[in-house]
Amino acid sequence: MKAIHSIANSLVLFISLCMSFSVFAADQAGLDAEIEELKAEVIELNRDLFDLEEQLLYPATTSFAVFVSMDAVPDFEIQAVKLNLDEQDVTSHIYRAEQVEALRRGGIQKIYAGNLKPGMHNLKAEIVGKDRDGRPVKRMVVADFGKARSSKYLEVKISNNPNQNKPDFAIVEWK
């Protein structure tokens, strides 16, 4: 009888140990899932905040943005871009290696967002980089453009000129 009692006791202990272990393991897996869920929620929330910011700070009637894009140009590696809007320096950006690769692989960078009055304006973009042999390259592109009462998007476009095997720099308006 004593032996049966002790066996039963150890069985209960074993089961409770197993259960506590499985509860612990489930807790750990649950925590990981909880963290992932939180990450997804925070990212979505931050996106909502970003939307609100854009709508509030840059209303559709005055909003203005400049993008940078670059084709796979073999003879040019972008290093920095500086923007001058209506004779005022508004922004500049120095590129990391991954960002250069991101542009090469079809990405578009929003380099500047702001508000602009309707009327005529002038944008100058100074592009700094280096060529295949590591020699510095500096180009300036200029655009005069009109702004009506709707959003205006411009693109500083670096494309490959296959005839000369050299990069072409331009500012393009998005219609």
Are 154 and 67 contacting, i.e. CB atoms less than 8 angstroms apart?
yes
Binding mask 85-114 for another protein (x = CB under 8 A): -----------x-xx-xxx-xxxxxx----
> Toward another protein, which CB reaches closer, 25 or 140?
25
Least Å from the CB of residue 69 to another protein: 7
Question: Which residue lies nearer to another protein by CB, 27 or 89?
Answer: 27
**Shortest Å distance, C-beta 44 to another protein:** 6
Stretch of 12-20, 56-64, 73-81, 163-171 lying at the interface with another protein (CB under 8 A) = 56-64
Alpha-carbon separation of residue 21 from 12, 24, 165 (angstroms): 14, 5, 66
Measure the CA–CA gap between 83 and 9, rounded to whole angstroms.
Answer: 79
Q: Would you say 120 and 146 are in contact if contact means Cβ atoms under 8 Å apart?
A: yes
Distances (CA, A) of 101 to 18, 78, 104, 106, 173: 52, 10, 5, 9, 24
Interface contacts to another protein, rule CB under 8 A: 28, 31-36, 38-53, 55-57, 59, 61, 65, 67, 69, 96, 98-99, 101-103, 105-110, 149, 153, 155, 174
